[in-house]
Structure 1
Amino acid sequence: MMTWAVLLSIVGLLALLISGRVRPAIAFVSLAGAYLLFGLVDTATLLRQYTNPALATLILLLLVSLALERTPLLDWLSQRLLRGRPSSATARLMGTSAVLSAFLNNTAVVAAFLGAISRQTRIAPSRLLIPLSYASILGGVTTLVGTSTNLVVNSFALSSAGFELGMFQFSLVGIPVALLTFGVLLWRAQSLPHHMPEATADKLSYFLAADLQPGSELIGRSIEANGLRSLEGLYLLEIERGGRLISPVGPEEILHEGDTLVFTGEVRKVQALQRFPGLKLFGHQADALLATNLVEVVISHESELAGQTLQEVDFRSMFNAGVVGIRRGGKRLEGQLGQIPLRTGDCLLMAVGSDFRQHRNLDRNFHLLSGSLTRPQLSRRESWLTLAGFVSVIGLAAAEWLPLFHGLLLLMGGLLLGRVLSPAELRRRFPFELWVIIGSALALAQGLENSGAADLLAQGMQHLFSGHGVYAAFIGCYLLTLLLTETVTNNAAAALAFPVAWTTAQAFGVDPMPFIMAVAYGASACFLIPYGYQTHLMVYSPGRYSMGDFLRVGLPVSLTYSAAVLLITPLVFPF
């Protein structure tokens, strides 16, 4: 009875993840807690999963990557890759992002190129951003540290099999797969739409501005007293007074004669302003001024804003900024902006206050697309020392002279001593949700084994593929992982698919390595829809893509990638 209950709990977990109603971290940790309560795992076993050495290595790598994100190398490269013909620029961009993503966090690589691509006007960003995201995936599958998914699989391998995967063990299959898929991607990139960046005039169409005329009874009274905070469909964003902007506008702000009030929201509901005597609508005299503090950002996968509305998080107080417009893919969202639940990957056009760049939670919540703000960067000396340290750690780990965890820990200490990173920054950017998901998933895998559900699963897989052989079972595990990564997230897919692949290999009595690799490559095979992979969400709105754009490029890429994985993996890692 308990065995079937455990299997049903995993099905329920999968249903919750697909529905998107519950954050993955909450779903995984809740089920792990239930397993602890019913005695499927004990306290010591549960805590041991959260301190898994391979998981600790993953966390250290992500934290060290915070310093690598701030080296000027990526910005320098982004300015030089887009020269020449569009086709050759696309190829250079894809090749560079793939090579960098083999060793750096692919989210950081895409984030570094995203702003430069969005700001340039020579090549339509929509012709570059999907190739950038897909190429970063192809580069990531070639090494252990290229993507968090490979390190997640490494955590499960250590927990279940007692061994860790090598730095370049993924390269034997990953490099030929990446090269074959690269050609198809370059060919299909030509079918992407031409969406040039929005001009300032298009962005200012979000605004509605009105002059406060002499003698108006609104003068000398606060915003709240005049009833300007509760307009239907409109929101008072900022005030232009004597050549300077007051942004955001607090409820106690007193109106002065000659003020220009700037509204945003449903600008078609202009009639809402007709009941205020002394407010005179005008054309676009303030356009130049309004454009001086516009910043466009993408909500990051680490952001605490996802799933919440602007009103719920009190966005204006949190960032000293007002949201002018929201774009999701190629569609501008309309209506009450403050009541729209935000999603990872949404583009926000914001009018920001003077101290916006001083807010410490910007890097965690946003990827900058355009505006006058710049990310704080390392000096040339700090950059070279950081890069040299990282390359040394990777080289020593590849030569098996120093474990990767030891090298990353030493590098982290050096970065803290050199004040390249600060403890406050590490606290702010700590990948807490990923740590909770993987640690809980390892505990769930242990619960599957202790309850007998893993054995039942193995028997089922053996029965299902008994007439077709181990190769059919291998294909089945890969396709299961691919389906999961397209419907949930890549890391959650790896966590759910690994126990199935591991028990299947045991049931057939074969070497588990090809099945482990099937999970690793399958979890990174997210090419069809934008919601399963963080870099796709990062480019979705800046490129103004539709779902059809991802399918048009992603289907032949996914077919080529999958065929290459299924053919090459058993040759390199025989059963």
Structure 2
Amino acid sequence: MTAHLVLGSIGLLLALLIHGRISPAILFASWAGIYHLLGLASQQALLSSFSNPALATLILLLLVSLALERSPFLDLLSQLLLKGRTRLATLKLATFSSLASAFMNNTAVVGALLGTITQQRRHPASKLLIPLSYASILGGITTLVGTSTNLVVNSFVVEAGLPALHMFQFTLVGLPVALACIAVLTLSARLLPANASTGNDVRSAYFLEARVMPGSPMIGRSIEHNRLRNLEGLFLLEIEREGRLISPVGPAELLHAGDVLVFTGEVDKVQALQRFSGLAVFGAGADALLKSNLVEVVLSSESDLANRTLRDVDFRTMFDAGVVGIRRGDKRLTGQLGRIPLRVGDSLLLAAGPDFFQHRNLDRNFHVLNGSGVRPKMSPAQSTAALTGFALAIVLSAAGVLPLFSGLLLLLAGLLASGLLTLGEMRRRFPFELLVVIGSALTIAGVVERSGAAALMAGWMRALFDGYGVYAALVGVYLITMVLTELVTNNAAAALAFPIALGTARAFGVDPTPFIMVVAYGASAGFLIPFGYQTHLMVYSAGRYRMRDFLRAGLPVSLTYAAVVLALVPVFFPFRPS
């Protein structure tokens, strides 16, 4: 009876994850807490899940990556990668980003190249950004540290009492998969649209200007007194006064004769301004002063703004900037911008005040596509030292000389001592949500195992595939994982699929390694829908894509990926009796 109740609760968890209104961190933490209160998970089991060695290694890796992502080498190489025809540039970009993602956080790799690709004019950015995102996934599956998903799976392996996965254990299958998919990706990229780059001509469509005429009764009265703060479809963004820009505009700001008021929102709602005496609307299109103040950003997966509105967070005060427009994929969102819930991957066009780049929370919330960097890049010598230290930690771990955890801990200490990483930055960018999700997921997986729910699922899998053999069951586990990663996040997919894989292997009496590996590869097989993977969301709005663009380019890659994974996993990880 308990097993059926646990399975029912897991089904409810999956439904809520797919619905997407509640964050995975809240859902997983709630489920783990409920299981503990019901006596299904002891206090010791709950706490030990958060001290899992593989999970600790993942957190260390992400903290070290905060410094590595500031290396200037990616920026320097990106200029060389984009030379030549579009197909050649796609191949070079995909190859390089996959190599970099094999050892660096793929989100950092995509974030470092995103601005360069969107600002260059050699090729349409939309021809390159989806290949960039896909290639970062393909590089991540080739090593243990290439993607957080592999380390998450390793944390489940360690928690289950199995031997930990090795650094290059993923390479045996991951490298052929990456090579085959990059070849297919280079060919399928021609199916992507050649969307126009976001330029000043596009941005100016967001603005509506009006001048305060001499003798207007609005002069000498505040913005709030003039009732300019709650216009239908329009929002007062900035004031140009005698050659200087007032941005953002506070409610107590007094209007002067000759002030140019810049509104944003639905610029066709000009009739909303006709009721103001002495206010002359003279055209849509901001002047050079306003345009020089524009910054484009993409909402990051770590952002505190996700699923909240600009009004909820008091965006102007938080960032010293006003939002000119919001784009989601290829659509510019209209209406009152302050009431639109933001999503990860949204592209925001900001009119930034003078203190915008001084705010310490920018790097957590945004990927900046243009304008000054959020933090200064490391010097070549600093970058070389940091990357050498990271490479040394990887090599020593692969050689069995020093555990990866110990090597990363020493590297983190060195980065802090040298000032390349600060405690403040670690506090701002600490992957708290990931820690909550994975720690809670480990608790949930333990409950699924101990309650008999895993054995029950394994029995169903055995009955379903008994007439077709263990290989058919392997294919079934892969397909389940792949569907989950398209519907929810990759790490959540791994967490939900791992107990099924482990139980199925035990039901067939074989070594669980091939089933564990297809969960790892399947959890990274998100190529069809932009909402299941962080890097897809990063490029979705920047490339002005539609859903069908991911389907067109991703379907050939997804089919190739699945074919090579399912062909090679049994070869390198055979079905030995357990």
Counterpart AA for 1:297: V
- Farther off after superposition, 210-219 or 521-530: 210-219
Distance 2:457 2:373 in 1: 53
SS in 1 for 2:245: strand
Contact conserved, 1:458 with 1:503, CA < 8 A, in 2? yes
Counterpart AA for 2:527: F
**1:285 to partner: Cα distance:** 7.7
Distance 1:123 1:281 in 2: 38
Counterpart AA for 1:433: E
Matched with 2:501 is: 501
**1:201 to partner: Cα distance:** 2.1
Distance 1:80 1:105 in 2: 22
Matched with 1:456 is: 456
Distance 1:512 1:439 in 2: 22
SS in 2 for 1:541: helix
1:199-238 matched pairs, under 5 angstroms: 199-238=199-238
Counterpart AA for 2:506: Q
Q: Does 1:298 align with 2:298?
A: yes
Matched with 2:79 is: 79
- Farther off after superposition, 364-373 or 293-302: 364-373
- Farther off after superposition, 72-81 or 557-566: 72-81
Matched with 1:434 is: 434
1:22-421 matched pairs, under 5 angstroms: 22-283=22-283, 286-373=286-373, 375-421=375-421
Q: Does 1:573 align with 2:573?
A: yes
**1:472 to partner: Cα distance:** 0.7
Distance 2:337 2:425 in 1: 31
Deviations 1:537-572 (A, max 9, x none): 000011111111100011111011001100010000
Unaligned segments of structure 2, at least 5 residues: none
Unaligned segments of structure 1, at least 5 residues: none
Contact conserved, 1:45 with 1:443, CA < 8 A, in 2? yes
**1:191 to partner: Cα distance:** 1.3
Contact conserved, 1:41 with 1:450, CA < 8 A, in 2? no
Deviations 1:173-224 (A, max 9, x none): 0001111111111100011111121220220110011111111111111111
Distance 1:535 1:264 in 2: 29
Deviations 1:93-140 (A, max 9, x none): 010001000000000000011000000111000000001000111111
Counterpart AA for 2:299: I
Distance 1:504 1:454 in 2: 8
**1:374 to partner: Cα distance:** 5.4
Distance 1:418 1:372 in 2: 24
Matched with 1:18 is: 18
**1:452 to partner: Cα distance:** 1.7
Distance 2:449 2:166 in 1: 26
Counterpart AA for 2:458: A
Counterpart AA for 1:296: E
**1:162 to partner: Cα distance:** 3.2
How many residues are matched?
Answer: 575
**1:372 to partner: Cα distance:** 4.6
Distance 1:289 1:162 in 2: 62
**1:432 to partner: Cα distance:** 0.6
Change (3 A) 1:39 1:284: closer
Change (3 A) 1:407 1:372: closer
**1:320 to partner: Cα distance:** 0.8
What is the CA RMSD across the aligned residues, in angstroms?
1.0
1:479-494 matched pairs, under 5 angstroms: 479-494=479-494
Distance 2:208 2:285 in 1: 12
**1:297 to partner: Cα distance:** 0.6
Counting aligned pairs with the same residue, the percent is 65
TM-score normalised by L of structure 2 = 0.98
- Farther off after superposition, 190-199 or 10-19: 190-199
Deviations 1:23-81 (A, max 9, x none): 10111010000100011110011000001000000010001000001011111111221
Matched with 1:7 is: 7
Matched with 2:517 is: 517
Distance 2:480 2:518 in 1: 10
Distance 1:198 1:44 in 2: 53
Counterpart AA for 2:412: M
Change (3 A) 1:483 1:380: same
- Farther off after superposition, 459-468 or 411-420: 459-468
Contact conserved, 1:124 with 1:196, CA < 8 A, in 2? yes
Distance 1:83 1:467 in 2: 54
Counterpart AA for 1:221: R
Contact conserved, 1:295 with 1:372, CA < 8 A, in 2? no
SS in 2 for 1:282: strand
SS in 2 for 1:209: strand
